Structure 1
Amino acid sequence: MLAAVQAFHDKHRFRETGGEELTYRVALMAEELGEISACVSKGKPKAELAEEVADLLILVMGTAIAAEFDLNAAFWEKMEKLMQRRSRMVNGRIRVSEFKD
C-alpha cells in the first residue's frame, strides 16, 4: 500500500507542487474525518464509509512519506506502548489511555 501511495505522489509530483506540505495534509485529513463522520451519523452505506476511511488511510500514509518517517516502525512502536496500557470504562465506553489517577 505504501508503495502505491508513493507512486501516486510521484505521478502527481506532490513534493514539487505543495502536495506534501504538512499543514495542508492535516487540513485534508480533517476534511476526511468530517466525511467519515457524515457517513456514520447519516447512516450511509458501508461502501461509502469504507471509501472515506480508505481516503484517510491514503492521506496518513502520504503524510509519512511527506514527513519522511517510517510508518511501519512508528505503528509497531505505538502498538507496543498501547498493549501495555490499562483500559477503563468512561461514560459507558471502553477507553485505553495513559490515565492519570
Structure 2
Amino acid sequence: MNRDSYDSMLAAVRAFHEKHDFKGRGGEEMTYRLALMAEELGEIAECVTKGKGTENLAEEVADLYILLLGTAIAAGFDLKQAFWDKMAKLESRTGRMVNGRIRVSEFRE
C-alpha cells in the first residue's frame, strides 16, 4: 500500500487508536474529540495570527487531520466517501463575494 494514500493514513491512525486502546479508554468519545479538534483549531489560529511559520502551521494542520481521521474511525463513517459526497454538493454551488472575499455557500435568501 502506498504510504501517502488515504487508506495508509487511515490504517496508521486506526493502529494508533488500537495501540492506545482509544475505544476502551474514552479516546473515541465524541465530546472529547470535539474538544481536541477545537484545541487544534486554536493552535492553527495562533500559527496564523502570530506568524509562527509554515512548518508549525503544517504540524498543527496534520494534528487536526489525524483527529479527523480518528473521528471517522470512532464514529464509524467513511470519511473518503463523505468528502466526495460533499465535494459534489459544493461544486453545484455558486460563489459570491462577501466582505471582499469569495464565499461558496447555499446563500439562503
Query: Does the pair score TM above 0.5?
Result: yes
Matching residue within 92, 96, 108 for 1:88 = 96
Matched, 1:14 2:1: no
Report deviation, 1:45. 1.4
Matching residue within 65, 78, 81 for 1:73 = 81
Letter in 2 for 1:89: M
Matched, 1:52 2:45: no
Report deviation, 1:48. 0.3
TM-score, normalising length from structure 1?
A: 0.98
Report deviation, 1:76. 0.4
Show structure 1 runs of 5+ residues with no match.
Answer: none
Report deviation, 1:8. 0.5
Show structure 2 runs of 5+ residues with no match.
Answer: 1-8
In the other structure, the counterpart of 1:99 is 107
SS at match of 2:66: helix
The runs of at least 4 aligned residues of structure 1 exceeding 3 Å deviation read: none
Answer 1 or 2: which has greater helix percent.
1
Number of aligned residue pairs? 101
Report deviation, 1:42. 0.3
SS at match of 1:95: strand
TM-score, normalising length from structure 2?
A: 0.91
In the other structure, the counterpart of 2:4 is none
CA RMSD in angstroms comes to 0.5
Percentage identity across paired residues of the two chains: 71
Measure the CA separation in 2 of the matches of 1:65 and 1:27. 17
Report deviation, 1:100. 1.5
